[in-house]
């Protein structure tokens, strides 16, 4: 019996537990979207006004849930505009399923139809573009290739270190039927392709790692996105408390442990808390889990920061090539982060400790207080224009531990990384693999879709905000109780910082009224220019059940001040 391809496509997604689709119909993909019409009770479909925003929303959905969403749209525009979010998913190690066409209208790719993306003469090469930013890309020319390509895309996206995976379909695919009893090769349900156990640490490696950590005088744990993916924050706090061990995070790992925890020392790198970098540099053993120790987190691999000749590194990652990638290691362990930590914790408990973990934590707390951990003087500034640090302080005081903070890129995220102290694991959500400005605007929409009952505040700069204004229409259309806080200094701050005072170019512009723009989209909007007005405005937005935008006219301080 023959079955419509577009319906089987939806069935496979449902069987794999994938229930959110973001995109824009175009080319032959309106007929792909048709497969969701009769599945509305099981698959939620969101029309996003831009392919880049749709990709960001799919990325954010995976960031929050650990499950892939689907990005669907016309090939040439998914591969170009959609790349804005696809590359973030690739760099951050987040699953995403991408379905697009090659726009080979009426199967005429050799004759140069407009928008053609097959890579033939006269065409751009959509599959090649997708291959450059995905874990897996295939082209389907017939129904069975589409079905099996989709199944393998799901497998690649979710197995090992997650990432985006794509299927580009030729023009005929959505219009065809498939005889599931007589396919060649044989068609099997998708579940059979997804029964993979994650890599496990060996007992021997767990024991050896435990011995190194127990013998260390000044161990420091460094964690990243892999901890969030594995949902292993509980294991992180357990081993930290067992050993009295400080825990630092990469940028993508910020809030993988609550930064209010006694053992937490904040985010590492050039803009970190003072105590963070001092502890990392002074460590004799570094225990890196779920992070590649990338240059942007390690002061560009500075030997003065991490010295692999002096310090022993235990490196745990689900991808074997990542353990010992940027530094030579004492131990490289391929394992799911949660599994590895549980085994190492068990091995630590079997050993005799010749130190008092509580005394170590007491000393750490004293050092944090002396270093003004998340309590530096700039957060209390009464300057006009308003200091960005003051904005972060006020947001920090308003958000409860069950609320969420979404960050954009640029300087707005750097002020937050240094001065926003997460109260619960997973509280901060941000793109940072590609770190494109504007990510936070549609990203916050997806965050609110994924967690409709949570209060979410998104902090963005005026530069990033202006690139993604269409997202405000989406917020209003869905009536999401989302609050945007826009730091408006009338320039591309991070770029501006690197330009000499007498050589500013292409980084400054006139001051736009973000609050007026928000009101034009039907949101509530307020502009704040005095620090005394800041907390009442934020509190009003926080208490509202309607979409709200708070625009804050901020001082144009260079982010270099965070580096001392």
Average pLDDT score over the chain: 96
What is residue 286's three-state secondary structure? strand
Mean pLDDT on 382-392:
97
Give the pLDDT confidence score for residue 559 in this predicted structure: 92
Q: What is the pLDDT of residue 1?
A: 73
Q: Region 11-39: what's the mean pLDDT?
A: 96
Position 263 confidence tier, pLDDT thresholds 50, 70, 90? very high
* Rounded distance between C-alpha atoms, residue 429 and residue 424, angstroms: 12
Reply yes or no on whether the pLDDT at 554 is more than 90. Answer: yes
pLDDT surpassing 90 at residue 564: no
**Confidence at 561, pLDDT banded by 50, 70, 90:** confident
- Round to whole Å and give the CA distance between 65 and 339: 19
Q: What pLDDT, on the 0 to 100 scale, is given for residue 423? A: 98
Provide the pLDDT for residue 560.
Answer: 87
Share of the chain above pLDDT 70, in %: 100
pLDDT of residue 563: 86
Q: Is the peptide bond before 185 cis (omega within 30 degrees of 0)?
A: yes
Above 90 in pLDDT, residue 307? yes
Given this model, what pLDDT does residue 260 score?
Answer: 98
Residue 3: strand pairing partners: 178
pTM of the model: 0.96
Rounded to whole angstroms, the maximal C-alpha distance in the chain is: 76
**Which has more pLDDT, 318 or 497?**
318
CB 440 within 8 A of CB 460: yes
pLDDT (mean) for 48-53: 97
The two tokens of residue 496 are 């501006």
* Residue-level pLDDT at 158: 97
SS3 235: helix
Between CA 440 and CA 450 the distance in angstroms is 15
Determine contact, residues 268/276, Cβ cutoff 8 Å.
yes
Provide the pLDDT for residue 367: 97
Separation CA 55–CA 308 (nearest Å)? 38
Please tell me the number of Cα atoms within 13 Å of 384 on its side-chain side. 7
- Measured in whole angstroms, the distance separating CA 481 from the mean position of its chain's CA atoms is 21
Domains of the chain and any CATH numbers: 2-193 (3.40.50.970), 203-370 (3.40.50.1220), 377-563 (3.40.50.970)
Question: Quick one: average pLDDT of 330-350?
Answer: 98
pLDDT digits (tens, 9 = 90+) for 265-281: 999 999 999 999 999 99
Question: Distance of CA 474 to CAs 20, 35, 42, 479, Å?
Answer: 16, 23, 21, 8
Give the pLDDT confidence of 393-421 residue by residue, as tens digits: 999 999 999 999 999 999 999 999 999 99
Over residues 288-293, the mean pLDDT reads 97
Q: Up-side HSE of residue 429: CA atoms within 13 Å toward CB?
A: 33
């Amino acid at each position: 019996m023959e079955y419509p391809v577009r319906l089987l496509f939806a069935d496979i997604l449902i069987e794999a537990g994938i229930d959110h689709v973001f995109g824009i119909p175009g080319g032959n993909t309106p007929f792909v979207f048709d497969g969701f019409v009769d599945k509305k009770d099981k698959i939620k479909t969101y029309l996003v006004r831009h392919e880049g925003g749709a990709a960001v929303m799919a990325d954010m959905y995976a960031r929050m849930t650990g499950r892939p969403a689907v990005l669907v749209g016309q090939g040439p525009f998914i591969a170009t505009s959609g790349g804005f979010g696809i590359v973030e998913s690739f760099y951050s190690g987040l699953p995403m399923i991408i379905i697009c066409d090659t726009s080979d209208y009426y199967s005429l790719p050799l004759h140069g139809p407009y928008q053609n993306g097959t890579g033939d003469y006269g065409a751009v090469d959509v599959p090649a573009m997708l291959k450059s930013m995905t874990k897996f890309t295939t082209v389907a020319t017939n129904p069975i290739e589409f079905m099996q390509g989709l199944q393998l895309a799901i497998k690649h996206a979710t197995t090992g270190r997650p990432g985006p995976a794509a299927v580009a379909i030729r023009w005929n695919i959505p219009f065809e039927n498939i005889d599931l009893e007589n396919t060649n090769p044989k068609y099997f349900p998708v579940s059979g392709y997804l029964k993979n156990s994650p890599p496990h640490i060996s007992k021997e490696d767990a024991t050896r790692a435990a011995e190194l950590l127990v013998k260390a005088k000044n161990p420091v744990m460094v964690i990243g996105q892999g901890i969030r993916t594995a949902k292993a924050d509980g294991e992180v706090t357990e081993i930290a408390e067992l050993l009295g061990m400080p825990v630092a995070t990469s940028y993508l790992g910020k809030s993988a442990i609550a930064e209010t925890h006694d053992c937490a020392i904040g985010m590492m790198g050039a803009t970190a808390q003072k105590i963070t970098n001092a502890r990392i540099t002074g460590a004799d053993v570094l225990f890196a889990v779920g992070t590649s120790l990338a240059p942007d987190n390690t002061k560009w691999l500075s030997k003065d920061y991490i010295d692999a000749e002096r310090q022993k590194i235990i490196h745990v990652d689900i991808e074997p090539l990542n353990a010992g990638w940027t530094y030579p290691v004492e131990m490289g362990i391929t394992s799911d982060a949660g599994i590895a930590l549980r085994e190492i914790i068990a091995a630590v408990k079997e050993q005799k400790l010749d130190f008092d973990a509580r005394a170590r934590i007491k000393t750490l707390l004293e050092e944090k207080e002396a270093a003004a951990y998340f309590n530096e003087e700039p957060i209390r500034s009464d300057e006009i224009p308003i200091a960005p640090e003051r904005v972060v302080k006020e947001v920090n005081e308003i958000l409860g531990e069950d609320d969420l903070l979404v960050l954009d890129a640029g300087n707005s995220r750097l002020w937050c990384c240094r001065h926003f102290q997460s109260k619960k694991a997973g509280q901060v959500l941000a793109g940072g693999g590609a770190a494109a400005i504007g990510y936070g605007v549609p990203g916050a929409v997806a965050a609110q879709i994924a967690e409709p009952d949570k209060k979410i505040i998104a902090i963005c700069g005026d530069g990033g905000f202006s690139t993604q204004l269409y997202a405000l229409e989406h917020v209003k259309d869905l009536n999401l109780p989302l609050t945007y806080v826009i730091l408006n200094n009338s320039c591309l701050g991070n770029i501006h910082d690197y330009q000499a005072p007498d050589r500013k170019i292409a980084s400054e512009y006139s001051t736009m009224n973000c609050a007026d723009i928000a009101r034009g989209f039907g949101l509530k909007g307020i502009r704040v220019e005095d620090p005394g007005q800041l907390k009442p405005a934020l509190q009003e937005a926080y208490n509202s059940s309607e979409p709200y935008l708070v625009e804050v006219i901020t001082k144009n301080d260079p982010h270099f001040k965070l580096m001392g």
